[in-house]
Structures are given as C-alpha cells and as structure tokens.
Amino acid sequence: MNPLNWPVRMHIASVGVSKFCFLFSLAFCGFLLLLIPALQPPTRQVDLPQPRPQVRPAKSGPSHHARVPAVSVHAGETDSATERNGSSAGQGGSIENEVTRTDNHNPKSGTDFKRGDPPGRQVAGRSDSKPRDPLELRDIFIAVKTTRKYHKSRLELLIKTWISQAKEQTYIFTDGEDKELRMRTGVNIINTNCSAAHTRQALCCKMSVEYDKFIESQKKWFCHVDDDNYVILPSLLQLLSSYHHSQDVYLGRPSLDHPIEAAERVKSDGSVSVKFWFATGGAGFCISRGLALKMSPWASLGNFISTAEKIRLPDDCTIGYIIEALLEVTLTHTHLFHSHLENLQKLPSDTVLEQVTLSYGGFENRRNVVSIVGGLPLAEDHTRFKTVHCLLYADTDWCPKLKPHHKN
C-alpha cells in the first residue's frame, strides 16, 4: 500500500465516524423525547367550577305585572309607559327590548297613533313599567333656545312659570347679553355669541354650544326646548325614568309623517342621498348621556356646525342625521311633546297636565292653545301657560285658587 494514500484514507474514515455520531445523537435525543411523557407522574383530575344555574323568580299572580316607579314626583302625576330602545352603552351585556303596546288611542297617555305614524317604529307612551333609571331633577340638563328680542315677550313668561321650579337645571342659550334679566331672575343665561338671525347657521351655532355645555355638566339627560314651550317637569321625570341614561335613547316627536331625505355631500363633485327621522326642536327632544357621548366626533367643539353644513339642514335635523343616519340609533317617537305646528286644541283637556311639553300659536294663530276648563281668563293668559302652572303648583304666590280641571 502506498504510504502517500494514508492521510486521505484517515480523513475519509474520520468523516464517516463523525456522521455516524451525529446520526446516533439525533436518534438518541428522539428516543428521550418519546420517553419523557411516559416518565411523568399522572396528572390529578381537578374539578372545574360549574356555571351557576339561572334562577327565575316564581310568578306571583297578577301582582307580578304591577310595578311601581322608583321615583318620587309631585301629586297629580300618572305612571309612565314607554317602548324602550334596547341598545346599551357601557352596561356590559345586552338589554332586551321591552315593548309596551297600547291601544290605537289613549288620551290618558297622550299617545294617539294616527295614520301618519311610521309602522314598526318605537313609540313612547305610558304604562306601569318599572323605571330603569330613578332620576332627580338635578340629573337633567334642560336647554332653552331663544334670541335677545324674545327675552321680554317669551322668556320672562317661562321664568315666571316652569323655569322657577328648575332654575338650577335650566340653561338659557341666547345671542345677546341681558345683565338686567340675569340679576333680576337669577337664571342661567348663556350668551352663545351666535347670530341673532333665524338662519340655519345661527340655529346650528346655538345647538353646538348647547351640546358642549351639556357634556361639561356631567348630567344624565340632555333635553332641548324652545322659548315657546312649557315643560311639565313631573311628566318629564316620569318619562325619562323609564329608560337608563347609559342606553342609546333619542326621544321626541317628528313634525313630518315620513323620514326626511337629505343630500349628503361626500366630495366636492358629488353627493349621496340619505334618509332619516328627526325630532322637531319646536316640540322639544331628549337624548341620553350614553348616546350624546357617541355623537362627539360629529358634534363636539364646533364639529356640529361642520356636520350641519355637510347636509345643509337646520339644528334639529342635524341631530337626527347624526343619531339615525351616522350612529344608526332609532328615534323613539312620543306624542307627549307638542309644538305650535300642531292643532293644540285637539289635545283632550283632561290629559293636558300629563304631557311633557306644551306650546302655543304665534301672532298668526293666537287661538292655537291647549283647551283647559276654568283657570285664568284668556285675556290674562293667552298662552294658557299660567293656568297650567297654577294647576300644577297651586301654592305659587301669584296664582288664584283654581279648581282641578276636568273634562265636561
């Protein structure tokens, strides 16, 4: 054998041994991995906690359906009934839709389902349902929209009547300073510095300030009314107590019998049509805090004005657009809110004090007022607000002694 070939053969042999050792190591490691589970001690079986069974309360006869509102209100107030919006915000879990059905006409409740009412929409009325959110007046932010020229002819009447019972909860949004009125009455007057003109831009400017002030207040409910509305505070408390402020609740009365259609400007060269319901500001409307917070991207810090410009509609329509079209929350229709646009004389006189808001006709229709038996002479009370107030708050110093009204 040639001695020169030994180094080559030795190198080949060493390479072969190395490969063999490597393969043997892999096989041995695989064998150990297979043995590990078998060498471990058996695991003890642990009893997992079982879910607690749901216990339903046993029915107790007719009294199971009779529920007492957990809110204390003034005398003469009736139980409220509502159809509720089941969507919730921040409550951890779904809330079932609770619908209280009423007859086609219920004058006691102020609900009168006419041909113009939208089928399948949520309609708020009154019933013996248990309130979801026991409220006090201090939980409600009541915004009154007015203008400087109506401070004497309209606003002073409200301050003398229902605002006197809710001074701390009522905020008057106007467009001009009135230090004399503020000092004399002690009411919350907020100068929005918006235009005094009755234009879309001016109205939206005031609503934008209203929204921001409500969010700052930390109150549970935002209710907007005009300077020709009388707010029956016990009825308002009763209605709102049927809901929870963290739910998505939009309460009001449409002035139309169909959804409004608006052109939503998407780009400078085009637009799309959008349909939605809105509650007319002339009758008043209420929004829960949970829903109001969701409106923030389109309503807070001046965004309300730019949102209104997008659809070129007034303030109450823009509220409906944000809630129904953008947030997809349904307006809950209620016939307990009233504006000067409707025939107020048709409201049964024995249900007047059970409504939430009332109104009256302007100079062009001064006879459009609620019908109440007795009370102050029409010459002294052409709006009927003083008579309503004296029937609700008989101990008011300027009220004559009135007999409780009744239907003839």
- Under 8 Å between Cβ of 337 and 291: no
Helix 303-311, helix 200-217: angle, nearest 10:
140
**Cβ count within 10 A of residue 331:** 25
Q: Which one, of 371, 309, 310, 376, lies nearest residue 343 by Cα? A: 371
Catalytic positions are: 316
User: What's the rounded Cα separation, in Å, for the pair 201 and 314?
Assistant: 7
DSSP 386: H
Q: Where are the beta strands (DSSP E) in 57-146?
A: 105-106, 111-112, 123-124, 140-145
- Under 8 Å between Cβ of 293 and 252: no
Q: Which one, of 81, 56, 77, lies nearest residue 67 by Cα? A: 81
User: What's the rounded Cα separation, in Å, for the pair 249 and 86?
Assistant: 9
Angle at 371 between CA 366 and CA 374, to 5 degrees: 110
The continuous run of DSSP H or E covering 262 comes out as strand 260-267
Angle at 170 between CA 164 and CA 171, to 5 degrees: 130
